[in-house]
């Protein structure tokens, strides 16, 4: 049997979500975050569809170089910066803007002769305590970078939120205030907001917003739905029924026999499993959609298959489509059932799944 799992990527929805970013942050430029293969949606196609974004941000060197081949002009920001002189030289020859998060990178910049067109982003740690120059050392880093002749007027500043997805968390206000205070005297472009910051904290918008997850139609906030932000799901993960079996009361199905039928019941075997990126540890009774109606997964998800309990009156056939998440079934809901976040599920769809982009003739 050839592969039946398909991820449909709705490029119209992607563009719509970009327009929602614009609507929410009308005075900022947009750095579309398309790292991790555009959150699993396909770096190249997503970059081409997001032509209206003002720039792109990725995490890895290779992604940045690939992106530059697709887009010759837009700013491309490399969020993890460079590891050594060789990487830096290659980045600069592709006009990629590295994030400077550590003093070893400033040492390298000071040693090299840089093209006059070099732009860099100084990343300050305002509370995330992950990547970035400690806020107490920010001034030293800023002064050292600005003392490099070819970087004068070309050092931008950014930071990243730790808790913006939680509207009631006081830490976000504190991060905004610290960022504003630290950068008050710095006459340059600034960036702070991810999707959650952008939607909840207008004070964080500044010159550039950096939305990721909302572009893909997913709510960044646990307590608010994507619908409530007018976002549309971009990825719909689907497969097909490959068999329908009648199970008798008290019979069990699948590995470990973890589920037992309470009555005689038809079971649809669906051609998707953890080998495709559907989480094995999903809770019992997680929904799928067949013909727009919810049915529940029963038994253990295996590598290539999972089982769904139908009912006696079903009129489904082998070959009928089953939606695992996406349109009509938010990936956020499935992520909760899997004890994770939608970001992870989207990034985890494997290469075995066929990706179909709609509309196909999208000028890309
Ligand atoms: C530095 C940085 N900015 C922006 C984003 C986008 O965040 P989100 O996907 O929550 O909008 C990320 C994602 O992790 C990030 O690491």
| Helix boundaries (H) for 57-157 | 61-70, 85-93, 103-111, 138-146
pLDDT score recorded for residue 364? 45
| Dist. CA 68–CA 56, nearest whole Å | 10
Cα–ligand 1 centroid distance for 209 (angstroms): 10
301 Cβ contact list (under 8 Å, min separation 6)? 273, 274, 278, 279, 280, 282
Three-state DSSP state, 282: coil
User: Cα separations (Å) of 253 from 126, 243, 307, 326?
Assistant: 51, 14, 8, 27
For residues 103 and 84, the answer to whether their CB atoms sit within 8 Å is: no
The tokens for 74 are 């837009």
Q: What is the pLDDT along the chain (364 residues), one digit of tens a residue?
A: 777 999 999 999 999 999 999 999 999 999 999 999 999 999 999 999 999 999 999 999 999 999 999 999 999 999 999 999 999 999 999 999 999 999 999 999 999 999 999 999 999 999 999 999 999 999 999 999 999 999 999 999 999 999 999 988 999 999 999 999 999 999 999 999 999 999 999 999 999 999 999 999 999 998 999 999 999 999 999 999 999 999 999 999 999 999 999 999 999 999 999 999 999 999 989 999 999 999 999 999 999 999 999 998 889 999 999 999 999 999 999 999 999 999 999 999 999 999 999 985 444 4
Question: Which residue among 33, 59, 81 has the greatest number of ligand 1 atoms within 8 angstroms of its CB, and so is best to mutate?
Answer: 33
8 Å CB contact between 225 and 219: yes
Ligand 1 centroid, distance to 13 Cα (angstroms): 20
Q: How many helices (H) and strands (E) does the chain have?
A: 11, 19
Residue ranges around ligand 1 (CB below 6 Å): 33, 79, 160, 194-196, 210-213, 220
Of 188, 187, 165, 162, nearest in space to 175 by CA: 162
Query: Which of 210, 335, 343, 346 should be mutated for ligand 1, with most atoms under 8 A from CB?
Result: 210
State which ligand 1 atom lies nearest to the alpha carbon of 158: 1
Reference 89, options 118, 69, 66; nearest CA is 118
- Active-site amino acid positions: 35, 255
How many C-beta atoms surround the C-beta of residue 111 within 10 A?
10
Report yes or no: 116 and 150 within 8 Å, Cβ to Cβ. Answer: yes
Q: 290 alpha carbon to ligand 1 midpoint, in Å?
A: 33
Local structure of 26: helix, strand or coil: coil
> For ligand 1, atom 6, which residue shows the shortest CA distance?
212
Residue 312: Cβ-neighbour burial (10 angstroms; 0-12, 13-18, 19+): exposed
> What sign does the dihedral 341-343-344-348 (CA atoms) show?
positive
DSSP strand pairing (306-309 vs 293-298): antiparallel
Which ligand 1 atom sits nearest the alpha carbon of residue 165?
A: 10
Compute the distance from residue 32 Cα to the ligand 1 centre, in Å. Answer: 9
pLDDT number for residue 360: 52
3 state SS of 355: strand
Domains and CATH numbers, the chain: 11-221 (3.20.20.10), 235-358 (2.40.37.10)
């Amino acid at each position: 049997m050839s592969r039946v799992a398909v991820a449909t990527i709705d490029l119209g929805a992607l563009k719509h979500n970009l327009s929602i970013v614009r609507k929410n942050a009308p005075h900022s430029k947009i750095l579309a975050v398309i790292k991790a293969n555009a959150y699993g949606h396909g770096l190249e196609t997503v970059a081409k569809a997001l032509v209206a974004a003002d720039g792109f941000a990725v995490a890895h060197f290779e992604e940045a170089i690939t992106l530059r081949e697709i887009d010759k002009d837009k700013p491309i920001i490399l969020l993890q910066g460079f590891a050594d002189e060789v990487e830096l030289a290659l980045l600069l020859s592709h006009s990629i803007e590295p994030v400077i998060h550590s003093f070893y990178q400033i040492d390298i910049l000071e040693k090299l002769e840089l093209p006059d067109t070099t732009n860099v982003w100084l990343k300050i740690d305002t509370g995330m305590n992950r990547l970035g120059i400690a806020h107490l050392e920010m001034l030293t880093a800023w002064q050292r970078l600005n003392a490099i002749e070819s970087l004068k007027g070309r050092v931008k500043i950014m930071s990243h939120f730790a808790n913006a997805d939680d509207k009631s968390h006081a830490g976000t206000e504190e991060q905004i205030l610290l960022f504003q205070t630290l950068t008050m005297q710095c006459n340059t472009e600034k960036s702070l907001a991810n999707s959650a910051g952008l939607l909840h904290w207008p004070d964080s918008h500044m010159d550039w917003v950096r939305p990721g997850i909302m572009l893909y139609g997913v709510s960044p906030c646990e307590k608010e739905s994507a619908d409530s932000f007018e976002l549309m799901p971009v990825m719909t993960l689907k497969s097909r029924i490959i068999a329908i079996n009648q199970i008798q009361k008290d019979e069990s199905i699948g590995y470990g026999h973890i589920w037992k039928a309470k009555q005689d019941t038809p079971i649809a075997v669906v051609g998707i499993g953890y080998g495709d990126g559907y989480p094995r540890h999903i809770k019992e009774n997680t929904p799928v959609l067949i013909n727009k109606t919810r049915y529940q997964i029963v038994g253990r998800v295996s590598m290539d298959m999972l089982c769904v309990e139908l009912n006696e009156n079903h009129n489904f056939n082998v070959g009928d489509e089953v939606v695992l998440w996406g349109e009509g079934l938010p990936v956020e809901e499935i992520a909760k059932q899997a004890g994770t976040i939608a970001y992870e599920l989207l990034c985890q769809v494997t290469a075995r799944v066929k990706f179909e982009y709609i509309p196909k003739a999208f000028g890309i």
